[in-house]
Amino acid sequence: MSKLVIVGTVAFDAIETPFGKTDKILGGAATFIALAASHFQVDGAIVSVVGGDFPQADIDMLSSKGMDVSGLQIVKDGKTFFWAGKYHNDMNSRETLVTELNVLADFNPVVPSAYLDAEVVMLGNLHPLVQLSVIEQMIDPKLIVLDTMNFWMDNALEDLKLVISKVDVITINDEEARQLTGEFSLVVAAQKIIEMGPKYVIIKKGEHGALLFHRDEVFYAPALPLEKVFDPTGAGDTFAGGFTGYLTKTEDYSFENMKTAIINGSALASFCVEKFGTERLLELSKKELHQRLQQFKNLTQFDIGLT
Amino acid sequence: MSKLVIVGTVAFDAIETPFGKTDKILGGAATFIALAASHFQVDGAIVSVVGGDFPQADIDMLSSKGMDVSGLQIVKDGKTFFWAGKYHNDMNSRETLVTELNVLADFNPVVPSAYLDAEVVMLGNLHPLVQLSVIEQMIDPKLIVLDTMNFWMDNALEDLKLVISKVDVITINDEEARQLTGEFSLVVAAQKIIEMGPKYVIIKKGEHGALLFHRDEVFYAPALPLEKVFDPTGAGDTFAGGFTGYLTKTEDYSFENMKTAIINGSALASFCVEKFGTERLLELSKKELHQRLQQFKNLTQFDIGLT
C-alpha cells in the first residue's frame, strides 16, 4: 500500500460563529487532513509538533485512525499552537482573534524513517521553509501536494515561490491565486502558476466549488449547495486530506483520477462544515460518504441534448 | 411546433470595458433573448417597442432569425431606449452612465394574436406591471419564465411579488435572491422564492455558474472558466434565451430537460461575452455551439470512485 506523509499544524482552536462558540477544541491543518485521509484507510504519518498541554487521548485517537504519530513531536514544557477566530454572518469572512504560535515557532519537522519512501506528501499550510525541509527529506515521492495561504505571500514570498517550484499540485483559493499572479482571470492565473512549477493547480472557490487545471484541461468540481454552514474551520484541510487520501489509496495520479479525488475531498469538506471542528468527520460513516458522493453526481449530471 | 413569446427591451447600448468602447450598438434584453433562442430554430415573437431612430436593418435581421416582429411597436416620433455603461477591471461590477427610457416609458405591450396561444413566455427584465400585462394576455401558456433585477425590488416590490406569484420559473442572480428573501444561504433563499410561486428557481452566479432548484432537487450548472470576458452585456439575457429556446424546441418542461436547457443557455452566454454586444451570437455556428456543449460535459464529468 502507498504511504502518505502529512505535514501541518496540530492545534487548539477556539471558534465563534453565529450559531455558537467553543472552548479550546482539537484543530490544526494536519489533524483535519489526517482525519479526512483516514476515511480511505491509508497508511499515513503525521509530522507536526504539540506542547505538553496536548491530550494523550487526541494522540491516541489519531493513532486509532491509522496514523503513525511517531513524527508528532511533543515539547513537554511548551504549549500547543492556538488559534481563536470569529466568523461573520455570511460565514465567508472571518476574523482572527488570537494566534499563539507557541511550540510551532521553533518547529523542525522530522519525517519518520519508515515514511521517507512515502509516495504522497501533503504539505499543509505552514511556513514555506518548514514545508521545504520535508520535501528535502523525502526519497522519491510520486506526488507532492502543497497548501498555502496569503499570509506567506505577504511575509515570505521568495521562500514560498521556491516551495511552489518543487511541488506537483498546489491548492490555493481564488483570491490567493489572484494575489500570487496579479491576474484576475482564474484561467490565466492558473496558467501562470503552472509556469512556476506545479503540473496541477487546484483553485478553491468555497461555496462555488473548485477548479482543477492541468495543461489545457480543466475540471469544475461543484460545492454542494448547503442550507447552513455551521463552522467552516478545517474545510480546506479536509478537502486536501480527502484529495490526497483518495490518491494515496488508489495509487493513480492521473488527471482523470484527480477529478474523483477532488469530488471525494469536496464531499468530506461538505460534512466538515456541518458541526464544530472535527466532530462531524469523527462520526462520519462510509455509507454517509457514499450517499453524498452520489449527491455530487446527481448535482452535476446532464445530457447535452439536441445538437 | 411550440411558440415562444419574448418580452423585453430592444435598445441601443454604449459599452465601455477595459478592452475598448462602442458607439451606440444594438442591445436590449429581448434582442439577446431572441438571438439566443433563434439557435434552436423556434417560432418566436418579440413584444417590445422602439423609436423612429431604430434601423430597419436590425428589425429585418431579427426577422431573418425566425422572429415575428409584428409585436415590435415603432413609435415614429420617439427615441429608442438607450443605456450606457462602463465595466470595471474585474468585469464583475459595472456602472450605469446613462439610462434614457424614451419610448419605453409608455410601453404598453401587445402580444400578436397569432402568439396568444404560445406555450412558452420569456419575460425579460422590465417593469413588473408590463410583464404582468403580457401574462394576462396569454391564453394557456405551459411555461412562463421571469427575469428581473434588484431595481424592481427597490422600486416596485409589491408589483414584482405579484408577477413572481404567477410564473413557473424565475431567473435571478445570487445577490438579488439574497435581497429578495433576506436569506444568505442560496438553498434557503430558493426555498423561500418557491414559496412565493415559482416551481423552479434559477440562481445565476456569473463566473460561478448557476443553480436550478425544484422541490428538494438541485442542479449545479458550471460556467466555463474563461481566459477573458470581453463584454458581459447581455450574458444573462442570452442565458435566458438559450434556456427558453431549448425548452420551446423540445416541448419538454421537466426538471431533467431543464438541466440540458440551462447548459445550452450557459454555452450561448459563454460565447456572448467574447465580443461586444450581439456580435458573437450573430456569427455563431451550430458546430461551435456543439463543441462548446461538449466542453461543458468534459468540464463536469467524473466517476465517484471507490466507495
Give me the residue spans of the domains in chain A.
3-300
Residues 6+ apart with CB under 8 A from A110: A47, A71, A73, A137
List the single residue in A with minimal CA-CA distance to B92.
A184
> Measured between CB atoms, does A222 come within 8 Å of chain B?
yes
Shortest alpha-carbon distance between residue A77 and chain B (Å): 43
> Does B294 reach chain A within 8 Å, measured CB to CB?
yes
**B222 chain-A contacts, CB cut-off 8 A:** 209, 220, 222, 300
Flag whether residue A290 sits within 8 Å of chain B, measured between CB atoms.
Answer: yes
A vs B: CB pairs below 8 A: 134
**In the prediction, which pLDDT does A305 show?**
81
pLDDT at A307 over 70: no
Task: Give the sign of the dihedral formed by CA B247, CA B250, CA B252, CA B257.
Answer: negative
Q: Which residues of B touch A296 (CB under 8 A)?
A: 304
Residue matched to cell numbers 413609435: B75
Question: For chain A, first and last CA: distance in Å?
Answer: 46
Is the CB of B225 less than 8 angstroms away from the CB of A211?
yes
pLDDT one-digit tens code per residue, A125-182: 999 999 999 999 999 999 999 999 999 999 999 999 999 999 999 999 999 999 999 9
Among A185, A205, A227, select the one facing B226 at the smallest CB separation. A185
In angstroms, the Cα distances linking A203 to A208, A238, A240, B301 are 11, 15, 12, 18
pLDDT over 90 percentage in chain B:
92
Among A19, A290, A304, pick the best mutation site for testing chain B contact (most B Cβ within 10 A). A304
Across the interface, whether the CB atoms of B260 and A185 are under 8 A apart is answered no
* Cβ(A203)–Cβ(A213) below 8 Å: yes
The whole-angstrom separation of Cα A117 and Cα B295 is 39
Above 0.90 for ipTM, yes or no? no
Architecture in CATH of B9-300 = 3-Layer(aba) Sandwich (3.40)
Taking CA–CA distances from A174, the nearest residue in chain B reads B208
Distance from CA of B168 to the nearest CA of A (A): 21
Report the residue count for chain A.
Answer: 307
User: B220-229 pLDDT, tens per residue?
Assistant: 999 999 888 8
Q: Which residue of A has its CA nearest to B264?
A: A304
Q: Which three cell numbers stand for residue A161?
A: 515561490
Beta bridge partners of B86: B16, B95
A220 with B300: Cβ contact below 8 A: yes
Q: What is the pLDDT of residues B244-277, one digit of tens each?
A: 999 999 999 999 999 999 999 999 999 999 999 9
The neighbour count for residue B204, using CB atoms within 10 Å, is 26
Q: Do A307 and B290 touch (CB under 8 A)?
A: yes
Closest-CA distance, A145 to chain B, in angstroms, reads: 20
Tens digits of per-residue pLDDT, A2-38? 999 999 999 999 999 988 999 999 999 999 999 999 9
Chain A's closest residue to B187, CA to CA, is: A227
pLDDT for residue B305: 81
CB atoms within 10 A of CB A121: 28
| Structure-derived torsion over alpha carbons of residues B83, B86, B92, B93, reported in degrees to the nearest 10 | -80
Chain A 80-119, residues with CB within 8 Å of chain B CB atoms: 89-91
Chain A residue numbers touching B293 (CB-CB < 8 A) = 304-305, 307
Strands A3-7 and A120-123: parallel
Nearest to B237 by CA among B142, B88, B135, B126: B126
Q: In a structure prediction context, what are the per-residue pLDDT tens digits for chain B, which is 307 residues long?
A: 899 999 999 999 999 998 899 999 999 999 999 999 999 999 999 999 999 999 999 999 999 999 999 999 999 999 999 999 999 876 667 899 999 999 999 999 999 999 999 999 999 999 999 999 999 999 999 999 999 999 999 999 999 999 999 999 999 999 999 999 999 999 999 999 999 999 999 999 988 999 999 999 999 999 999 888 889 999 999 999 999 999 999 999 999 999 999 999 999 999 999 999 999 999 999 999 999 999 999 999 998 887 5
Write the DSSP string, chain B.
--EEEEES--EEEEEEETTEE-SSEEE-HHHHHHHHHGGGT-EEEEEEEEETTS-HHHHHHHHHTTEE-TTEEEETTS---EEEEEE-TTSS-EEEEEEE-GGGGG------GGGTT-SEEEE-SS-HHHHHHHHHH-SS-SEEEEE--HHHHHH-HHHHHHHHTT-SEEEEEHHHHHHHH--SSHHHHHHHHHHTS-SEEEEE-GGG-EEEEETTEEEEEPPPP-S-----TTHHHHHHHHHHHHHHHHT--SHHHHHHHHHHHHHHHHHHTTSSTTHHHHH--HHHHHHHHHHHHHHH-------
Please state, in angstroms and rounded to a whole number, the distance separating the CA atoms of residues B277 and B274: 9
Q: Which CATH architecture has domain A3-300?
A: 3-Layer(aba) Sandwich (3.40)
Predicted pLDDT at A256: 96
